Amino acid sequence: MSLSPATRARIESLLADHHVVLFMKGTRHAPQCGFSAAAADRLNALLEDYHSVDVLADEEIRAGIKEFGQWPTIPQLYIGGELVGGADIVQSMFDSGELHRVLGVAAPDRTPPQLTISDAAVEKVRAALADAGDAKLFLVVDGRFQPQFQLREPGENDIVAVANGLEIRFDAASAQRARGASIDWTRTPHGEGLAIFLPQAPQAIRSLDVHQLKERMQAGDITVVDVRPEQDRAIAPFAGAEPFTPETHARLTALPKDAALAFICHHGNSSRNAAEHFREHGFTNLWNVEGGIDAWSVEIDPSIPRY
């Protein structure tokens, strides 16, 4: 497939307007494939602001970007108008510190994390490693602080920690998220397994009903963010809430990490996803308005139209 002049011009305009551009499936806040999520996770750890392009929403760009850079897969990272590569290259550059250097941010802290592992957990893990061959044990902690043990080949940029005689390897991002982790073997009514506690993980998102929201808004101790699309906000305006625009996002992410933020949408689902994004950025005082603007209309202010 040849690249049309119009599509080339669109891509060149995107690269001229933004220093860092990630062509991906989904968006940086809601990736739609594992490879795109891995690349966005590394960039999110380094940059508060960069541009992502959802190729799933634009077939012309999806096909055109592969021709533009002669790179056959998605995601693709461009910095300063130059193609850097896909998910594996982004991961490798992050772990080596090269991505930090290219983006002009501080080099990664490669100090091995301090871990606590119980005897029972060590015993179970060693039994599982009996047939691992040359593969090494890695603990991967993603941007949502979901931990997962993996067996894979070691690399020169691995960060290695030893706890209770057990060697565990990390990539640079996971090592930061795993600091202070404790690992135990637990038994529950649902079965047995490893339990991993990550003290670096931000607090979970808490629920707020519309009556509590009204009280908090009257007290003036919380910022309310309306994540609905512009057309929905026009149908049922919600006074006292800020629209979730790029400008609002930039201002909110600069607030102290303990700032109280409440997110509201139509029924309370999209708002939880938005709150999750801020949790990943270290915010610790996050609230989701259960039932959304629909519940507000029913229980607080019937003058707001339901739709």
For residue 28, the model assigns a pLDDT of 87
Q: Which two tokens stand for residue 128?
A: 């599982």
Q: Is 243 helix (H, G, I), strand (E, B) or coil?
A: strand
- Residues linked to residue 262 through DSSP beta bridges, in sequence order: 224, 287
* Pairwise CA distance, residues 284 & 206, whole Å: 10
pTM across the whole model = 0.68
Q: What is the pLDDT of residues 60-104, one digit of tens each?
A: 999 999 999 999 999 999 999 999 999 999 999 999 999 999 999
- Residues linked to residue 148 through DSSP beta bridges, in sequence order: 140
The chain-wide mean pLDDT, for the chain, equals 93
- Predicted confidence (pLDDT) at residue 215 exceeds the cutoff of 70: yes
- Predicted confidence (pLDDT) at residue 3 exceeds the cutoff of 80: yes
For residue 253, the model assigns a pLDDT of 87
* Pairwise CA distance, residues 158 & 167, whole Å: 12
Share of the chain above pLDDT 70, in %: 99
Tell me how far CA of residue 21 lies from CA of 128, 182, 252, in angstroms. Answer: 41, 37, 22
- Residues linked to residue 139 through DSSP beta bridges, in sequence order: 149
Q: Determine the average pLDDT of the residues in 260-287.
A: 90
Q: What is the DSSP string of 285-302?
A: -EEEETTHHHHHHHHT-T
> 211 Cβ partners below 8 Å, 6+ apart?
299, 300
- Predicted confidence (pLDDT) at residue 152 exceeds the cutoff of 90: yes
- Predicted confidence (pLDDT) at residue 188 exceeds the cutoff of 80: no
CA atoms within 13 A on the CB side of 190: 2
Element housing 6 (H / E): helix 5-17
- Residues linked to residue 30 through DSSP beta bridges, in sequence order: 27
Q: What is the pLDDT of residues 12-67, one digit of tens each?
A: 999 999 999 999 999 887 788 999 999 999 999 899 889 999 999 999 999 999 99
- Cβ neighbours around 167 below 10 Å, total: 12
- Cβ neighbours around 87 below 10 Å, total: 23
Q: If phi over 0 gives left and psi between -120 and 50 gives alpha, with beta otherwise, what is residue 220?
A: left
Determine which of 96-110, 192-206, 209-223 has the lowest per-residue pLDDT on average. Answer: 192-206
Q: What is the DSSP string of 54-107?
A: EGGG-HHHHHHHHHHHT--SS-EEEETTEEEE-HHHHHHHHHHTHHHHHHT-PP
* Pairwise CA distance, residues 253 & 133, whole Å: 45
- Residues linked to residue 79 through DSSP beta bridges, in sequence order: 20, 82
| Confidence bin at 1 (pLDDT 50/70/90) | low
| Confidence bin at 281 (pLDDT 50/70/90) | confident
* Pairwise CA distance, residues 300 & 218, whole Å: 13
264 or 245, which is more confident? Answer: 264
Q: Determine the average pLDDT of the residues in 116-144.
A: 94
